[in-house]
Structure 1
Amino acid sequence: MNLEETVATLDSLGDDAVIHAERPWRAESRAVVLEPDTSDGEEDLDHFLEVEAAREVVVAWSGHRGGRLPNRTQVFQAVVHYAEWDSYIEDR
């Protein structure tokens, strides 16, 4: 699965799961979702973000935009921005 597809499935992932992905973090980057303390042979992938944190990014995105819901591309951009910069993406 690629990173964009993985981020699009946040609602179906376990709360404690962690997303790992190949750098640079682009839509087509390979990604896996692992439970905490599991490497499962994915040493070539970097820690991307905890699922719970990614969900919080989506809630914050919506809150900063008057409750508007983001589309798939906006979710992906917001989550990658947070993973890279540890800050929420600004309203554009």
Structure 2
Amino acid sequence: MKLGEVADRIEQFDEDLTIYAARPWTIDSEASLEVNEDSTTRPLNGLDYFLEVDIAVEVIEAWSIHRPGQVPTTAERCEAIVFYADNDCYLIPGGYDPIS
């Protein structure tokens, strides 16, 4: 499975699963969903720890909240979760003003 496929279908997966993916993380990276019983960030089956499914769901929800009325494409979903995995923060659009 590719990381883009995981991002596109993220809401369908058990939120207790962890995503593992091949670096560099892109829409075309090989990816796998696995149980991470040890809650560690160690590689698994040749793939690097990427993100937990429940966090990826939150990242996609945050993307939509910060872009009212927009539905993210597969590429935008993937970009948002890769950004979060790399930076531990949401991908906020430039010029976003949460007060307005």
- TM-score normalised by length of structure 1: 0.87
- What is the aligned length? 90
SS of 1:58's equivalent in the other structure is helix
Say whether residues 1:76 and 2:81 are aligned partners: no
User: Where in structure 2 are the equivalents of 1:13-92 lying within 5 Å?
Assistant: 13-37=13-37, 42-92=44-94
State the Cα distance separating 1:27 from its structure 2 match: 1.5
**TM-score under structure 2 normalisation?**
0.80
The Cα of 1:68 is off from its aligned counterpart by 2.4
Aligned to 1:87, the other structure's residue is in SS state coil
Output the aligned Cα RMSD.
Answer: 1.8
Greater Rg by CA = 2
Identity, % of aligned positions: 37
Gaps of 5+ in 2: 39-43, 95-100
**Structure 1 unaligned residues grouped into runs of 5+:** none
